[in-house]
């Protein structure tokens, strides 16, 4: 009975476009949903496929702390505050070395960080 309620809830959340809740439910119950994938609606199956592919590829979603760092870097770069940018980078080098870091940075931040040698050029 739990699986039926789960599938019903996931389908409802996907239809409401509440993808954050749907993703969390899917990640927490991925084994059950893989076994009963045919019961999900088309959009739910596509989201499940995306989640399983990202898990298999080893992608890790950034934490709130990392997102805050990326946001601060973008803010400093937009203001061209190089001093503040350097201070922020100083303790957070490992955050910038992650694969997903480039996708969260704006154009200004990418150019400045490449110039500072904090990230590699693409």
Tens of pLDDT, residues 7-23? 999 999 999 999 889 98
Q: Give pLDDT, residue 63.
A: 87
pLDDT confidence of 117, banded at 50, 70, 90?
Answer: confident
Overall average pLDDT of the 69-86 stretch: 94
Q: Give pLDDT, residue 98.
A: 85
pTM over 0.85: no
Average pLDDT along the chain: 90
Rounded CA separation 55/115 (Å): 33
Q: Give pLDDT, residue 15.
A: 93
Q: What is the pLDDT of residues 22-36, one digit of tens each?
A: 989 998 898 999 999
Q: Is pLDDT above 60 for 60?
A: yes
Measured CA distances, 81 to 4, 66, 73, 85 (Å): 53, 20, 10, 6
Rounded CA separation 72/113 (Å): 13
């Amino acid at each position: 009975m739990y699986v039926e309620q789960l599938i019903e809830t996931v389908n409802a959340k996907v239809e409401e476009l509440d993808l954050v809740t749907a993703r969390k439910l899917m990640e927490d119950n991925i084994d059950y949903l893989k076994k009963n994938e045919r019961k999900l609606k088309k959009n739910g199956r596509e989201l499940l496929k995306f989640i399983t592919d990202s898990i298999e590829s080893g992608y890790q979603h950034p934490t709130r702390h990392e997102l805050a760092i990326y946001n601060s870097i973008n803010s400093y770069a937009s203001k061209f505050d190089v001093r503040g940018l350097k201070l922020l980078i100083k303790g957070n080098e490992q955050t910038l070395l992650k694969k997903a870091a480039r996708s969260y940075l704006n154009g200004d931040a990418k150019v400045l960080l490449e110039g500072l040698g904090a990230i590699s050029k693409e």
